[in-house]
Amino acid sequence: MSALVVGVGGVAICTSCATIAARTVESNDPPTEIVYTELEGVITNDPRVGPDFGRIDDASIVVRGDHVAWLGRSVDLPARYHGYPAVPCDGRMAIPGFVDAGSELLGGIPSERPDPDRLIGEVSVRLKNAVRHGVTSVDLRVGGSGDPTTDTVLLAAARAGADASPEPIVSITWVASRRFDLASLDGVMAPTVGRIASSVEMSCDGSEDAAELRDRLGCLRRLPVRVRLCREWPAACAALAEGARSVESSVWTLLPSDATPVVEPLSMLDGSGLDVRALWDAGGRPGVATRSNPDARAVNGLTLAVSLLVTLGGLDVGEAIWAATRGGAKALGDEERGRLRMGDPADFVVLDTDDLDDLVRRPDSNPVWRVVAGGREALE
């Protein structure tokens, strides 16, 4: 039997646990210290830096551990960083990591209980492909079957597949089917959803009255997650939506000013109208959801979405990049990612170009030269 080791404050753990803890500490890699130099420019999305979405020209980024230790003009690089290993970027551009605020786990609701092992493998492969295309954060939409067992399997498989890949940062949104009654929502699904998901998506097709919506939303609010609203949210129920973080762009005007609308640029390929220019001019600052799924339209990154926001949505390139980075992070409730400033997580992409317009001109290509996620190069 293991002996007990008593530490500070009289806290005791067994010797086996102490050994595991020591090995864990010893196995941790030392902090990464590296300087990305010779950047044509860096888009920081930090309004304090200045116009053009906080662009810094002739820039360097210093990474230490998992965060940005310094960034600015290369001529201002402090002497203490001159001895760090350097990655010359040869005049390329850097932007914050792309954030996909909505990707589908499945193309459709399964007719029978899904195979979790297959799903875990598929999720892992999709996430690796996303990182290769510069996506450092992604939200997976899971559920919608109306069956507690099926939705539980989907949630668990999504979490396990995400955990199998160290990058990107993955959040999970549970799609709450209207087929769940209040008892099932509160008593059956709440424990599982609360452990795995970070948000709940609630939709309305106009068939429910205000009282029904109030009861269902009130039940979802008891889950320890954020509630995301989508589709035809009636104006009469706008007061119920207070505190919602992200919504579909069609209903954003009903919500508080800090709510973030989510746009789906790929829907334009199906002929759906999406006047993002008008949304932006009216004060909406959208995030981007690809709604990529393996059965209908699968995309690995956000380059096509950025191109569509410009060519069909009316945004300029800087605005489109903001939506695909900072906007997506804010829609997911992440106030640190999607921007670059000292102390923020070191999640950024070095593009294989010195001209951001190439994201629009070459929407079918992978623009990535380097991906840094959590301070480490994710493509090694």
Give pLDDT tens digits for 125-147: 889 999 999 999 999 999 888 88
With CA atoms as reference, report the closest residue to 58 among 70, 40, 71, 83: 40
User: What is the per-residue pLDDT for 191?
Assistant: 86
Which residue bears the tokens 């929502």?
Answer: 185
Residue 10 has pLDDT above 70, yes or no: no
Mean pLDDT of 321-334: 94
Share of the chain above pLDDT 70, in %: 82
Residue 321 — very low, low, confident or very high, per pLDDT cuts 50/70/90?
very high
Q: Which domains does the chain have, with CATH numbers?
A: 33-96+366-377 (2.30.40.10), 98-337 (3.20.20.140)
User: What is the per-residue pLDDT for 379?
Assistant: 67
Residue 255 has pLDDT above 50, yes or no: yes
| Radius of gyration, alpha carbons of the chain | 22
Residue 254 has pLDDT above 90, yes or no: no
Which has the minimum average pLDDT: 31-35, 43-47, 63-67, 81-85?
31-35
pLDDT per residue as tens digits for the range 155-185: 999 999 998 888 899 999 998 887 887 888 8
Q: Which two tokens stand for residue 207?
A: 């068939």
**Buried-state track 252-285, b at ≥16 Cβ within 10 A, e below 16:** bebbeeebbbbbbbbebeeeeebebeebbeeebb
User: Which DSSP letter does residue 97 get?
Assistant: P
User: Which DSSP letter does residue 10 get?
Assistant: G
Mean pLDDT of 217-233: 72
User: What is the per-residue pLDDT for 5?
Assistant: 44
Report the distance separating Cα 336 and Cα 345, nearest Å: 7
| Average predicted confidence (pLDDT) for the chain | 84
- To 10 degrees, what angle do helices 116-132 and 148-163 make? 40
Which has the minimum average pLDDT: 85-94, 156-165, 213-222, 268-277?
213-222
Peptide bond just before 345 cis, omega within 30 deg = no
Question: What are the two backbone dihedrals, phi and then psi, of residue 240, each rounded to the nearest 5 degrees?
Answer: -70, -15
Helix (H) / strand (E) containing 62: strand 55-64
